[in-house]
Structures are given as C-alpha cells and as structure tokens.
Amino acid sequence: MQDPTLDPVLDRALRQVRVERTRDHRRRVRASTAVSTTLATAVLAGGFYLGQHSTPEAEDRPPGQRTSEERVLVGATEGVRMTATVTPVEGWLRLRSVVDGVPAGERCKLVVTDAGGQSFVAGGWVAAQRGETALAGAALVDLDHLRDISVVTADGRVLVTATP
C-alpha cells in the first residue's frame, strides 16, 4: 500500500478541507457573537427607554411636591419609626420608606398587607448601624385594599406598623 503523505493531491485536498472547516467555524462564531451583541444592546436600550418613560419617581418632582394619589404613612413603636410614601400605579403600589431605630445587624423585611390579610414582601435589608435606612419597593396591592405596612424581622417580630 502506498503512503498517503507521498500523494500530493490527497495531502492538498485534506489541507483544503481543514482550512475550509476552520473558516466556517470562525464565520459561525462571528455571526453568533454579532447576534448576541445586537440582542443584548436591544434589551438594554429597551430597559433604558422603559425606565425613562414609566411613571415619574418622586425624585423627578420638586421637593415637597406629591401627586394627589400619593399617601404618607407614619408609624412608631418602642424606638423604631417608619415613614412610608405610597404611590398607586395601575393596580400595584410603589413604596419609598425611611426606617429609623432598628438595631444594627437586624435582618428586616418591608411587608405590605392587604385588606384580606395577605402579605407581600416589598423589600428587605440588614441594618448596618442604628440610624435611618431608606428603602424602595413595590407590592401587588391596590391602594384601596391597603391595610398596613410593617417592618418585620427575620424571626417574625413586627418592629413597627404604619396604617393609612
């Protein structure tokens, strides 16, 4: 039998197959990279657009100005105080709250309860030090069905509750 390395036609054909296979692979990689980059850019641009054109946040309004639908809830018990600004948005609530007096290291949740007694966690944090903590969140509760907003510890203790 003849040694295939001695056949220059076969050697050249195999080399050409390897070159074309590598070129095709690189072309597919470039195409998939281009598609992925385009999709990621479109998603980011869409998110930016929606963020700029959604319901205006309180930070977009002059200080002290609130919408007519916004409500401010205040609660205080045993050294813990909470002020929560509630803004209705098409069947759900946007919340901005400031909580003060929670002991450092305490794991807390901001819990919204509706008129039927169902609870929704709108956010959570670990108190870094005794002092004010600002927290933003949301809950699928209509403003007309809001019963209260509470700060609840990880072990279930209610530290403070604010009612409308």
Lowest mean pLDDT across 64-68, 85-89, 140-144, 155-159: 64-68
Residue among 143, 22, 39, 140 nearest 88 (CA)? 143
pLDDT > 70 in the chain, percent: 85
Distance of CA 80 to the CA centre of its chain: 27
Give pLDDT tens digits for 23-66. 999 999 888 888 888 888 888 888 777 766 655 454 454 444 44
Instruction: Sort 85 into a burial class: Cβ within 10 Å, 0-12 / 13-18 / 19+.
Output: middle
**Which strand (E) or helix (H) includes residue 33?**
helix 8-53
